[in-house]
């Protein structure tokens, strides 16, 4: 009987704190005051055996009734929103809570938090998303459809960080993006995944109209290291850009296919840039050692 009364009392206390928390987010008060109060109330909720109380109390309230998205949108309207200590702690608590919840709505809320211009908060949100695995990647991929260039950049950067093989298809689709920086990030992501499925799209990216995308593509192909990419990289040794020639040579060195020795030797004979020549010589020495 005593135990049941204790649990009932705990429930009542949590409910009161929860109701205050919901009310706080609806009030139009100064950010500093609001963040301080929200931090205090979230901390109070977490004191009630987090593993037991958080899922039941915060799933319907922080995510649905509280509507963290609207709260964050207010913060995001100010480009350089001053994240004070209490606000940061408040957000860290929210991020940890959302990670524990781990459902679709929690993932969407974490993606919103990523938009806050604060390195520590973004890092914490990234770590939480990374721990959520496949479901987080799927939701990030859906978010790529947004028209906002900054949001797309942020999502691609996040997928590069932990997307894994699930991100191959969205990265390939993103290679068609109008923004060169986003295409470049997609190429980097494909290189990090190192799957054979990425080879053909990356070979096509060697012909991208943007030189930086071409360079990233050559580097990514070198990381994947499949012999199928040797011929396209040999062709890239003739590129007008010296950096592209260097990166292509280094990629060939990583693949370690002796087929590249002859074209590299020929390219060395006509190369005019000393720094590129040095790379060619180093790569040739490596390849000749392998052949022996």
* Residue 6: per-residue pLDDT: 32
Domain that includes residue 120, residue range: 1-132
Closest CA to 213 of 175, 248, 167, 262: 175
Q: What is the model's pTM?
A: 0.64
3-state secondary structure of 154: helix
**Could you report the per-residue pLDDT of 226-279, keeping only the tens digit for each?**
888 899 999 999 999 999 999 999 999 998 888 999 999 999 999 999 999 999
* Residue 220: per-residue pLDDT: 92
Instruction: Note whether residue 93 is domain-resident.
Output: yes
Q: Count of domains in the chain?
A: 1
Residues of the chain with pLDDT under 50: 1-9, 29-33, 45-67, 69, 76, 78-81
Instruction: Note whether residue 147 is domain-resident.
Output: no
* Residue 202: per-residue pLDDT: 94
Phi, psi of 250 (to 5 degrees): -65, -40
Instruction: Note whether residue 251 is domain-resident.
Output: no
Residue 275 CB neighbour total at 10 angstroms: 10
* Residue 266: per-residue pLDDT: 94
Gap between the Cα atoms of 219 and 281, Å rounded: 18
Instruction: Note whether residue 264 is domain-resident.
Output: no
Instruction: Note whether residue 223 is domain-resident.
Output: no
* Residue 15: per-residue pLDDT: 65
* Residue 179: per-residue pLDDT: 87
* Residue 236: per-residue pLDDT: 94
């Amino acid at each position: 009987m005593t135990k049941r009364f204790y649990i009932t009392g705990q429930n009542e206390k949590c409910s009161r704190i929860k109701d205050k928390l919901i009310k706080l987010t609806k009030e139009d008060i100064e950010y500093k005051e609001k963040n301080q109060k929200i931090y205090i109330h979230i901390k109070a909720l977490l004191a009630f055996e987090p593993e037991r109380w958080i899922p039941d109390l915060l799933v319907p309230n922080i995510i649905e009734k509280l509507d963290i998205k609207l709260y964050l949108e207010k913060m995001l309207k100010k480009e350089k929103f001053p994240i004070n200590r209490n606000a940061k702690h408040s957000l860290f608590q929210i991020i940890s809570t959302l990670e524990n919840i781990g459902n679709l709505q929690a993932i969407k809320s974490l993606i919103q938090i990523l938009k806050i211009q604060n390195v520590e908060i973004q890092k914490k949100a990234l770590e939480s998303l990374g721990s959520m695995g496949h479901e987080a990647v799927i939701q990030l991929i859906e978010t790529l459809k947004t028209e906002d260039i900054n949001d797309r950049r942020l999502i691609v950067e996040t997928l590069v960080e932990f997307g894994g093989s699930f991100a191959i298809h969205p990265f390939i689709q993103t290679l068609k993006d109008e923004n060169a920086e986003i295409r470049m990030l997609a190429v980097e992501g494909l290189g990090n995944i190192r799957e054979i499925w990425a080879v053909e799209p990356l070979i096509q990216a060697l012909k991208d109209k943007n030189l930086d995308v071409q360079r990233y593509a050559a580097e990514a192909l070198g990381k994947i290291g499949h012999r199928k990419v040797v011929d396209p990289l040999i062709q890239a040794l003739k590129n007008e850009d010296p950096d592209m020639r260097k990166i292509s040579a280094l990629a060939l060195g990583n693949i370690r296919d002796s087929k590249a020795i002859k074209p590299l030797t020929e390219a060395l004979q006509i190369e005019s840039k000393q720094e590129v020549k040095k790379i060619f010589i180093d790569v040739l020495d490596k390849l000749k050692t392998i052949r022996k």
